[in-house]
Structure 1
Amino acid sequence: MANVVVVGSQWGDEGKGKIVDWLSERADVVVRYQGGHNAGHTLVVGETVYKLSLLPSGIVREGTLSLIGNGVVIDPHHLVKEIATLESQGVSITPERLRIADNATLILSLHRELDGMRESAATQTGTKIGTTGRGIGPAYEDKVGRRAIRVMDLANPATLPAKVDRLLAHHNALRRGLEASEIQPQTILDELLQVADKVTPFIDRVWQVLDDHRAKGSRILFEGAQGALLDIDHGTYPFVTSSNTVAGQASTGSGIGPGGIDYVLGITKAYTTRVGEGPFPTEQLNEVGQHLGEKGHEFGVVTGRKRRCGWFDAVLVRQTVKTSGITGIALTKLDVLDGMDELMICTGYEVDGEVVDYLPASQGQQARAKPIYTRMEGWSDTTAGARSWADLPAQAVKYVRQVEELIGAPVALLSTSPQRDDTILVHDPFKD
């Protein structure tokens, strides 16, 4: 049995929820390995819809262990709220079903406030990042600045005052510069102690738990947030998230070691979307973009923000196949393209008069990249609900085969509707 990493191959919102849910039903352990509560999964199990933004997708499955790894930044108040919401839907969440890495970093109210103040202060064109304002970036800054409050600290209240003083020495200096009032240590201490007893029962050494399950031959599924093109190193910097989102982070963000990863499944939308600021070469600010957004219901699970929409960009996905070591892809939302007379696929860019087959790292060159398209005939029949290749229109099959050829990776799963059973399985990632 293989251990599988699921990674979004574009800018996120590729429909990971359905695929992860489909896989998590057959996994023994599901691990969240990066990000925070700034992205979400929508899971549909039977007649019940679950909206998750921090908890791993396995949490709604009886008999599946869910782990939050050290690579995640955790807002403890949001965690408690999300647990309460799921419990109100009949999901029992106990330490037997959920473990949280003792060395994961906490998001505090001061992180959210700093996030918002910075975005508000970014008044010049092109300086806004387009964050969700949930404190993700500032929390990661404190992590690498070695002043963060971590999950394990909640279990040791006596050590908190000194840690909070060290943290505020940095943050109050920032707040003075932003003309904001300083924060008193007791405010942060009260904030932490208010939820400590609700979080501490779940604390564990996640790396050890994973090693034990790997030794037993358990099937382990690793899930992240956002997409690979929002990676802090390999994405469209600076319009990215504050963590590594490529598949390699599954190892670093959980502690399993790279040898524990067997298969990387890239979730890939049949067109392209992104939320927030930043370059988007194939964006369609016209009736095509409007059609894709309306038919694809392109609004964020967590924020409700409208997504920008455009044609499929094979250059970007091909690059992600390489930077994440993608073994195969799960192609989603093919049905959104039903009824379109003509489809376009980006196969390269023209940048400053030169044709390139990659996305440049330069912010300026990314903004100047002009897509080079190949045209394909669309199809009038529906793909919605198809569960075999024979159910697909011939032109839809041609489109899928063209995508495979251009990105250099095969389709392992093909999703034809939000319903979990409307999936064409070509290769089972758990049987690598």
Structure 2
Amino acid sequence: MFTIITGAQFGDEGKGKIVDMMASQYDIVARFQGGDNAGHTVVAEGKTYKLHLIPSGVLFDARLLIGPGTVMNPGILMEEIAMLSDNGVEVSPSKLGIDAKTSIIMPYHVALDGLREQKRAVKIGTTNRGIGFAYVDKVGREEIQMADIADKSRFMRKIEEIAPQKEAAIKEMGGEPKIARSEIDAYLEIGKKLKPYITDVSKEINKALKDGRKVLAEGAQGTHLDIIHGTQKFVTSSSTIAGSACAGLGVGPTKVNEVIGVIKAYITRVGEGPLPTEQKNEVGEHLREKGGEFGTTTGRPRRCGWFDMPLARKAINLNGYTSMALTKLDVLSGLKSIKLCLGYELEGKNIDYMPELSDDVSRCKPIYIDIPGWREDITDTESFVDLPENARLYVELLEELMGADIGYISVGPGRKQTFMK
């Protein structure tokens, strides 16, 4: 059984919680793209774990894997391992495997990321963590890989080859060239510690599937931040849709059994880019404050708006979802009326599907219907039938309009606040 989970909006949909909930049913949980610009929050037994690289199934017995489609800052990984250890969760080499080909984020990537964003006339809203420049080096075949930092001679050979180019690039952009050769000893020391974790992720997963074991692939960010299909240029640096799980982990598409999309009962976005249903008013503040809509990685306040159906329809097509998980339904409690975007008005025409070009999306005016809200607190609800009538009607309407089954509903951040529909 091979299951893929991705976000159906702009990230921050609650994927970490859904993965944590499902992880007990799986033998392997694998991360297939992105870097520590992603933040997955898991709340269990009164503790909150903020994860950026380690898969969200860390609190269960599953084997965890970081695939070669990711880019990894080894210092951040070591911080996560230490944080988990402090909370009684040991992440040993038998627990976590890192592919030998995983790209390593270097100090020069972080420096170039910050310098480039400063010089942009139109900001993207990057996290300045070097993600994009690490992917540039992967595509340019000039990357440092996990296997390199675990082997001093290989690492130094590559640094001597790459560093002059990075020094020149940093100098040209007004930065300090010395950054290109900084922290070498620290990386080598981490490499020694991580060497026992190195594995062949594709081989492990394919063998597990052949042996009848269950594998869960965890995506980062969200569908509309996809480098190819998202709202360019306001996107992330990797492919966030379900198909990239096969490439990022080295698993053939014929082995995929299930694709689950995680989607909020409303919508949020961090950083720049079009968000047609954004509410810069009391409703937006209600969603932000009640939903705790502040970035796990950056702490930035998220932009909030009503559920966007055209955007959801495109996500379903791009990922081929077999079912959906609806999160943060509780955040809508207390609103007298809820708006749902059915389509857009663009240049005098009504459309029901998200335009391909970001400039067009930014000019779309939402076409809303009003739905009665509910006052009741639903955070203790344990089944669909126990929800207030208007909450049930809202869920059923989303399901009908999306043309996709909602399998799970979340009514709070805790592990026990999710139930099957």
Residue 404, structure 1, aligned to residue 403, structure 2: no
Map of 2:73 onto structure 1: 75
Aligned to 2:221, the other structure's residue is in SS state strand
User: Contact conserved, 1:385 with 1:422, CA < 8 A, in 2?
Assistant: yes
Extract unaligned runs of 5+ from structure 1. 427-432
Map of 1:262 onto structure 2: 257
In structure 1, distance between residues paired with 2:170 and 2:74: 23
- Spell out, residue by residue over 1:40-75, the C-alpha distance to the aligned partner (whole angstroms, 9 max, x if none): 1111222332111110112222x3100000111000
Instruction: Give the C-alpha shift of residue 191 in structure 1.
Output: 4.1
Instruction: Give the C-alpha shift of residue 234 in structure 1.
Output: 1.0
User: Contact conserved, 1:80 with 1:198, CA < 8 A, in 2?
Assistant: no
- Spell out, residue by residue over 1:181-205, the C-alpha distance to the aligned partner (whole angstroms, 9 max, x if none): 3237753533431311011110011
Instruction: Give the C-alpha shift of residue 217 in structure 1.
Output: 1.1
2:36 counterpart letter in structure 1: H
> RMSD of aligned C-alpha atoms?
1.4
In structure 2, distance between residues paired with 1:133 and 1:162: 27
2:202 to 199, 207, 214: 207
TM-score, L = length of structure 1:
0.94
In structure 1, distance between residues paired with 2:171 and 2:324: 48
User: Contact conserved, 1:283 with 1:310, CA < 8 A, in 2?
Assistant: yes
In structure 1, distance between residues paired with 2:30 and 2:407: 21
In structure 1, distance between residues paired with 2:378 and 2:88: 34
In structure 1, distance between residues paired with 2:128 and 2:213: 37
Q: Spell out the pairing of 1:104-143 with structure 2 (5 A cutoff).
A: 104-122=102-120, 124=121, 127-143=122-138
Map of 1:429 onto structure 2: none
Map of 1:307 onto structure 2: 302
User: Contact conserved, 1:332 with 1:414, CA < 8 A, in 2?
Assistant: yes
Aligned to 1:380, the other structure's residue is in SS state coil
**Cα pair distance change 1:289/1:216, threshold 3 Å:** same
2:378 to 383, 389, 402: 383
Map of 2:269 onto structure 1: 274
2:105 counterpart letter in structure 1: I
1:216 to 203, 211, 236: 211
In structure 1, distance between residues paired with 2:114 and 2:182: 19
2:268 counterpart letter in structure 1: T
Map of 2:293 onto structure 1: 298
Instruction: Give the C-alpha shift of residue 80 in structure 1.
Output: 1.2
User: Contact conserved, 1:42 with 1:301, CA < 8 A, in 2?
Assistant: yes
Aligned to 1:78, the other structure's residue is in SS state helix
Residue 54, structure 1, aligned to residue 53, structure 2: yes
User: Contact conserved, 2:73 with 2:106, CA < 8 A, in 1?
Assistant: yes
User: Relative to structure 2, which stretch is displaced further, 32-41 or 377-386?
Assistant: 377-386
Q: Spell out the pairing of 1:413-424 with structure 2 (5 A cutoff).
A: 413-424=408-419
Q: Spell out the pairing of 1:237-256 with structure 2 (5 A cutoff).
A: 237-256=232-251
Map of 1:94 onto structure 2: 92
In structure 2, distance between residues paired with 1:298 and 1:351: 29
Map of 1:4 onto structure 2: 3
1:176 to 161, 165, 171: 171
For these two proteins, the number of residue pairs brought into alignment is 421
In structure 2, distance between residues paired with 1:204 and 1:291: 46
Residue 163, structure 1, aligned to residue 161, structure 2: no
- Spell out, residue by residue over 1:389-431, the C-alpha distance to the aligned partner (whole angstroms, 9 max, x if none): 22111111111111112212110111112222222213xxxxx
Map of 1:103 onto structure 2: 101
In structure 1, distance between residues paired with 2:201 and 2:136: 22
User: Contact conserved, 1:164 with 1:188, CA < 8 A, in 2?
Assistant: no
**Cα pair distance change 1:184/1:225, threshold 3 Å:** closer
TM-score, L = length of structure 2:
0.97
**Cα pair distance change 1:184/1:271, threshold 3 Å:** closer
User: Relative to structure 2, which stretch is displaced further, 282-291 or 52-61?
Assistant: 52-61
In structure 2, distance between residues paired with 1:399 and 1:32: 32
